[in-house]
Amino acid sequence: MSEDFAPKASSYADQWDWLFFVLVTVSAIVVAAVLVAIVVFSIRYRKGAAAFRKDLPGAFSNRLEYGWTTATALGFLAMFWWAAATQLHHAVPPEGAVEIHVLAKQWMWKIQQPNGVQEINELHAPTGQPVELIMTSEDVIHSMFLPALRLKQDVLPGRYTYLWFNGDKPGVYHLLCAEYCGTAHSRMTGRFILMSPVDYSRWSARQPQADNAAKQGEGLFNSLGCTGCHAQNSSVHAPDLHNVYGRPVQLADGRSVVADEAYLRDSILLPGKDVVAGFDPIMPSFRGQVNEEQIMQLIAYLKSLAAPGRNK
């Protein structure tokens, strides 16, 4: 494990450190200015010292107040602007990211690589290409914290959250849970291992191979009986799930939503919530029949049915 203090593993982390140190410098200047003012006034105007102590002219103090209020507001605005711009710049993951599934539970991290390789409390990822973590929790709120990337994202039960990065420095770094999650919260830690793409595929090939998530999802899709209604030749009238992922869906109540992971998840567990226009609300809920891991696999399967685009 890297013993350096605050190692950096991406160019984003460099940008982040730069922003941080500029803020530190600005703050240090402000603190120094206040300190100098206090010290100088304290000496010059200490009780008993000869000094000029008449009132300031009112117009002057007013101007002073307007001046520093405006200056402060503009200074803060500039800081906000810079921080917000950095943020927005990093907001949307690039196309074609390597998708790694993360399932958090008290108190471990379960990782599934795109090819189905499973890990616990270890996250291997290649450098030099965007990687997106698709995360959910089985129980309470956790938080994926990768300090070497200066990134963190809460992991919620019943929802998916995402974290993407583009690592550039192979190494072994901390993987931490940052949201308090109960007794062994501080032990819900592991290793984040960035590898060059060559090492990564070599590592991946050495692991016991499992079916990838989509393949497992396909199995579930059949065994749970989804095909009974959703197959193209089924007698029951249910939406065709090819190409559904990532497309806008027209709903019966007039809304239109994009079919993302959250939508697919809700359709499996809460089918009455978003009924597709033109269909009867006849789908049963699979709540209790599938666990989080299986839902993830089902979603991975549905995503694999979509036209190539976002997906690998």
Partner 1 sequence: MSQIAAVEPPPEESPTCTSYLDAGHTLVSWLTTTDHKRIGILYAIAITLFFFIAGFAIGLARLELMSPRGMLLTDEGYNRLFTLHGIVMVWFFLVPSIPATFGNFLIPLMIGARDVAFPRLNLLSWYIYLIGAGFTCYAIVAGGVDTGWTFYTPFSSLYANGNVVAAAAGVFVAGFSSIATGVNLITTTHMLRAPGMGWFRLPLFVWAIYATSLVMVLATPVLAMTLLLIVAERLFHLPVFNPHEGGDPILFQHLFWFYSHPAVYIMVLPAMGVISEVFSCFARRRVFGYVMMIYALLGIAIIGFFVWGHHMFVAGQSQYASLVFSFLSFMVAVPSAIKVFNWTATLYRGSISFEAPMIYAMGFLGLFTIGGLTGLFVASIPIDVHVTDTYFVVAHFHFIMVGGTVSAFFAALHFWWPKITGKLYSEAWARFAAIIMFLGFNTTFLPQFIMGYGGMPRRYHVYPQEFQVYHVISSMGALVLFAAYTLPLVYLGWSLFYGKRAGPNPWGATGLEWQTPSPPPEHNFDEIPRVDAPPYNYHPEKEEAFEPQGRS
Binding site for Cu ion (CB under 5 A): 142, 177, 181, 188
Question: CB of residue 189 vs partner 1: minimum separation in angstroms?
Answer: 8
User: For residue 248, how many other CB atoms are within 10 A of its CB?
Assistant: 9
**Distance, CA of 181 to CA of 51 (rounded, Å):** 60
Residues 123-147 as b or e (16 or more Cβ within 10 Å = b): bbbbbeebbbbbbbbbebebbbbbb
Cα separation, 45 vs 216, in Å, equals 78
Name the minimum Å distance from CB 171 to partner 1: 14
Site for partner 1 in 135-154 (CB under 8 A): 139-141, 143, 145, 147-148, 150-154
Question: Could you tell which of partner 1, Cu ion, none binds residue 300, using a CB distance below 5 to 8 A set by kind?
Answer: none
Nearest to 179 by CA among 153, 137, 144, 142: 142
For residues 279 to 308, the per-residue mask of contacts with partner 1, x marking binding by CB under 8 A and - elsewhere, is --------x---------------------
At position 312, the amino acid (one-letter code) is: K
Shortest distance in whole angstroms from residue 299 CB to partner 1? 16
Q: How far is the CB of 167 from Cu ion (least distance, A)?
A: 22
CB closer to Cu ion, 181 vs 214: 181
Q: How many CB atoms lie within 10 A of CB 45?
A: 11
288: left (phi over 0), alpha (psi -120 to 50) or beta: left
Q: Phi first, then psi: give them for residue 160, nearest 5 degrees.
A: -110, 140
Q: Which residue is nearest to Cu ion (CB)?
A: 181
User: Minimum distance from CB of 64 to partner 1 (Å)?
Assistant: 8
Identify which of residues 69 and 196 has a Cβ nearer to partner 1 in the complex: 69
| Residues in 29-58 at the binding interface with partner 1, rule: CB under 8 A | 30-31, 34-35, 37-38, 41-42, 45-48, 51-56
